[in-house]
Amino acid sequence: MSRFIFAAFWWICFAGAAAAQQVPARDLLEFPVGLLAEAAPLSVQMPAGLWNPAAAALPIGTRAAIGFAALTSPQDLGVDLDQLAGAYRVRQNLTASLSLTTASISDILRTETDPTSLGAEIPYRTTLFSAGLAMSNRSVSYGLAARYRNGTADNEHGGEFGMDAGVTVDRLGGTPIRLAASTFLFTFAASRETSYLVAADVPVINRDSAHVLRVGQAFGHTEGRGREEYSFATGRLGLLELSGGLSRTFAFGNSNHRWRLGSGLRYAAYTLAFAREQGAAGLGASYQFLLKRTIQ
C-alpha cells in the first residue's frame, strides 16, 4: 500500500507539472545525473558536458573519454536515470562530444475511484540526445551543444530541438577564481523551461595536482520552476576524489535542503565514483554510480 501511495503522489505532482510543459517529463532532468556533488557548470567528471557544453573540452594529453552514469531513487519513488557519453579531440583545441540521457519513473498505477490498479502502468519518461563542440584557449573554454529531447506522459508525446552554450574560465582576471556559466535545455519555443547555471570556486589548498581543496557557490534558475543555491567543496588527495555540499531549492512557494556527498577513485585511465543525495520532504536518498575511461 505504501508503494501505491508514493506512486500516486508522484503521479499527481508530475501530471500537474506536465500540463505546463511543452514536452512531457522535463522534471526528471532536474536530478543531478553525471554529477558527484560538484556544481553542475564546473563538473568534468562525465564526458560531453551535459550541464555545461564548455566542460566537454578535453585536457591536454587526453585524446578521448567515454563514461557511463546511473542514478536511482528509493523503490517507493521509482526514478531512474542513465547517461552514456563520449568525447574525442578532433584538433589540438577542439573536442567533439555525444551523449544520450534517459530518465523514467516506474510504478505509476492507473486507477479510478479506489486503489485497485487498472491495466498497465502509466509511462512517464524522457530521452535527451546531445551533440557538442568545445574549444579551449589558454584558461578559457567555451562550447555549444545541439539537443533533441522527447518525452511521454501517459498518452501524451512530444519532442523538441534546442541548443545550449557554456563557458568556463580557470583564472578569472589572473586570480585563482574559477568561473563557469551555461544554459540547459534552451529552446526558443519553450524558454520558460530553460535553466541558467552559474558557479565559482577558489582553492583553499593547492599544493600540487594531487593535493587540492576548492570551495565555492553555485546558482541555478529555471524559468517558471524555481531556483537552487548550492554551497560546495571539492578536493583531491592522491588517487581519492571527494566532494560535498548543501543544496537549497525554492519552487512553488516551498523550500528544501538536501545534502550531497560524492567520492571517487582515479586509477590510471579509469575513474570509479559514487554519490548520495539526501531526499526532500523526508523521502529516501538517491544514489549515483559513475565509471569513466580516458584514452591518452
Q: Considering the domain boundaries, does residue 151 fall inside one?
A: yes
Mean pLDDT by 10 residues, the chain (296 residues): 38 45 87 93 95 96 96 84 97 96 83 56 92 95 97 91 96 93 88 90 91 97 90 96 96 88 94 91 85 96
- The pLDDT score that the predictor gives to residue 120 is 67
Domain of residue 6, residue span: 2-106+117-295
Number of structural domains, the chain?
1
Rounded to whole angstroms, how far apart are CA atoms 143 and 8?
40
Q: What's residue 91's pLDDT?
A: 93
Specify if 112 maps to a domain. Answer: no
Residue 185 lies inside a defined structural domain of this protein: yes
In a domain, 190, yes or no: yes
SS3 for 73?
Answer: coil
Q: What is the pLDDT of residue 237?
A: 94
Evaluate whether residue 60 is within a structural domain: yes
HSE-CB for 7 with a 13 A CA cutoff:
21
- pLDDT for 41: 97
CB 96 within 8 A of CB 66: no
Q: Which pLDDT belongs to residue 3? A: 39
Q: Which residues contact 130 (CB under 8 A, 6 or more apart)?
A: 48, 50, 97, 98, 99, 100, 101, 145, 146, 147
Give the separation between CA 56 and CA 178, rounded to whole angstroms: 16
* Segment (H or E) for 258: strand 254-267
Tell whether 245 is covered by a domain. Answer: yes
In the chain, the amino acid numbered 273 is: A
Whether 260 contacts 275, CB under 8 Å:
yes
pLDDT at residue 119 in the model: 57
In a domain, 111, yes or no: no
Q: What CATH number is attached to the domain comprising 135?
A: 2.40.160.40
37 lies in some domain: yes
Strand stretches in 45-155, DSSP E: 64-72, 79-91, 94-105, 124-137, 140-153
